[in-house]
Amino acid sequence: MKRVFITGASSGLGAALAARYAAQGAVLGLAARRPDMLQSLVAGLPYPERHRIFPLDVTDHAALRTAAADFIHAFGGVDVVIANAGISQGTRTEFPEDLPVFERIVATNVTATVATFTPFLPAMKRQAAAGSHDCRLVGIASVSGIRGLPGAGGYCASKAAVISYCESLRVELRASGIKVVTIAPGYIDTPMTQVNAYPMPFLMPALRFADKAVSTIAAGTSYRVIPWQMGVVAKLLRAMPNWLYDAAFARAPHKARKS
């Protein structure tokens, strides 16, 4: 029986991952800011009495530590921790009022990823030392972290940081037996993308994404872009010389700024 802890679990990718793991018989710790949505999610899962909800903001690191301790105590350990919580907002450096938005994005998408993993690591290390091969730390990044997009500096920078941070952590933990998995979603049909007023190629349903993500996590794959078509696009964009990339994307649509 897998023991899985997911942040940002009340909707979108987090809720889809929760549904897929619950269908496999896992016990879940589900953290998010909206308790009513967490309760509604759990009520619709198999064996709802098994799972625990943790209403919290991931920027509250003390609350994350308390939730981790409670989960480990309740289930005797943890197998998979998914740092999925994230926010997206357009930011422009020319507007001073966007600086707090940028800071909030980094605090939620990057610093909270570290704060999510930290309290689980001692238990995972004990389990791995005892012979477990199932321990996974999972960072949810984005293809937006591959190259910077105009009007999305905060979001792109945060997801690039998640990719680099998880790579560093993967190397740090290589000898421990704990696998670090980085998943970079492309366009997935969630409330976060439904507000985008521009074309989203290869848009994928959230539950289909969750199927592929769960299999990727089980395999311990170090890095994967989902869907694969966006992985091809990401490699092509990364290979483009700066002059060509700049010319191609200078007039790209911008994410909406906070009004």
- What secondary structure does DSSP assign to 87-98, as a single string? ---BB-TT-GGG
- In this structure, what token pair is assigned to residue 237? 């964009």
Cβ proximity of 68 and 6 under 8 Å: no
Q: How does pLDDT run across 113-168, given as a tens digit for each residue? A: 999 999 999 999 999 999 999 999 999 999 999 999 899 999 999 999 999 999 99
Q: What is the mean pLDDT of residues 212-217?
A: 98
Give pLDDT tens digits for 18-70: 999 999 999 999 999 999 999 999 999 999 999 999 999 999 999 999 999 99
pLDDT band at 258 (very low <50, low <70, confident <90, very high): confident
**Catalytic annotation on 155?**
yes
pLDDT band of 253, cuts 50, 70, 90: confident
| Single pTM value for the model | 0.94
Q: What pLDDT is recorded for position 76?
A: 97
* Euclidean distance between CA atoms 41 and 246, whole angstroms: 43
Mean pLDDT of 90-112: 96
Q: How far is CA 74 from the centre of its chain?
A: 24
The pLDDT of residue 10 is above 90: yes
Q: What is the mean pLDDT of residues 245-256?
A: 84
Active-site residue among 155, 165, 198, 245? 155
Closest CA to 141 of 181, 103, 100: 181
- How confident is the model over 222-247, as pLDDT tens digits? 999 999 999 999 899 999 999 999 99
